[in-house]
Amino acid sequence: MRENIVLTGFMGTGKSSVGRKLSEMLQMDFLDTDEEIEKQHGLIGEIFLNKGEQFFRDCEGKIAKQVSSLSNTVVATGGGLMINIENANYLSSSGRVFCLKASLDEIISRLDKGEGESVRPLLQSEDKVATMKSLLDKRNTHYEKFEQVLTDGKSLDEVAEEIYKRVTG
Ligand code: S3P
């Protein structure tokens, strides 16, 4: 039995794509917390709109508990899930956590290119860059608690390779 690998980090850092790739490389299962929530409740944009952010955070709490009883799974988390201390404790106890880190410029350019697909309700404002910056500032102390993986200038495959080396090396 292998422990889980959990990926956290800000929106646009590549958690889902890297996680999927890594799960193939390590022949582990893959789970994306946002996808699980969408399977049960519909699109994240609509959940925020119709039921509010707190409802979405409650869903994340439930998923975090469920995931903590899994093993051999690469888990890509939504960017806010591990900011909650209880969630972070559940997932940290189930395996090794990596935080994908990118500079604000890199995040902006990735989100502009549409990398990482879905609508991000937290960034639906007039001044997206200012919103991103203030959210990142608020969250950095939380993200910094986890093992860091620098992603600037790296392809998604290179990031997956880097984590692969750390867990197998
Ligand atoms: C969120 C990040 C999103 C998604 C939701 C909230 C956040 O996931 O869970 O929109 O609070 O940072 P990604 O990090 O995959 O974009």
pLDDT digits (tens, 9 = 90+) for 46-98: 999 999 999 999 999 999 999 999 999 999 999 999 999 999 999 999 999 99
> Which residue segments constitute the domains of the chain, with CATH numbers given?
4-153 (3.40.50.300)
CA distances from residue 6 to 34, 35, 138 in whole angstroms, order as listed: 14, 15, 21
Q: Is 115 a residue whose pLDDT tops 60?
A: no
Whole-prediction pTM: 0.95
Bigger pLDDT: 42 vs 123:
42
Strand duo 4-9 + 95-101: pairing: parallel
Share of the chain above pLDDT 70, in %: 96
| Ligand 1 proximal residues by C-beta, below 6 Å | 11, 15-16, 34, 44, 78-80, 116, 120-122
The one-letter code for the residue type at 21 is K
Mean pLDDT value of segment 33-58: 97
Question: What does the block give as tokens for 103?
Answer: 């500079």
Q: How far apart are CA 124 and CA 136, in angstroms?
A: 15
Ligand 1, atom nearest to 120 Cα? 10
Bigger pLDDT: 109 vs 162:
162
Confidence of residue 112 (pLDDT cuts 50, 70, 90): confident
The one-letter code for the residue type at 113 is K
CA of 44 to the centre of ligand 1 (A): 9
Q: How far apart are CA 73 and CA 38, in angstroms?
A: 19
CA of 169 to the centre of ligand 1 (A): 30
Confidence of residue 125 (pLDDT cuts 50, 70, 90): confident
Mean pLDDT of the chain: 94
| Closest residue to atom 2 of ligand 1, CA basis | 79
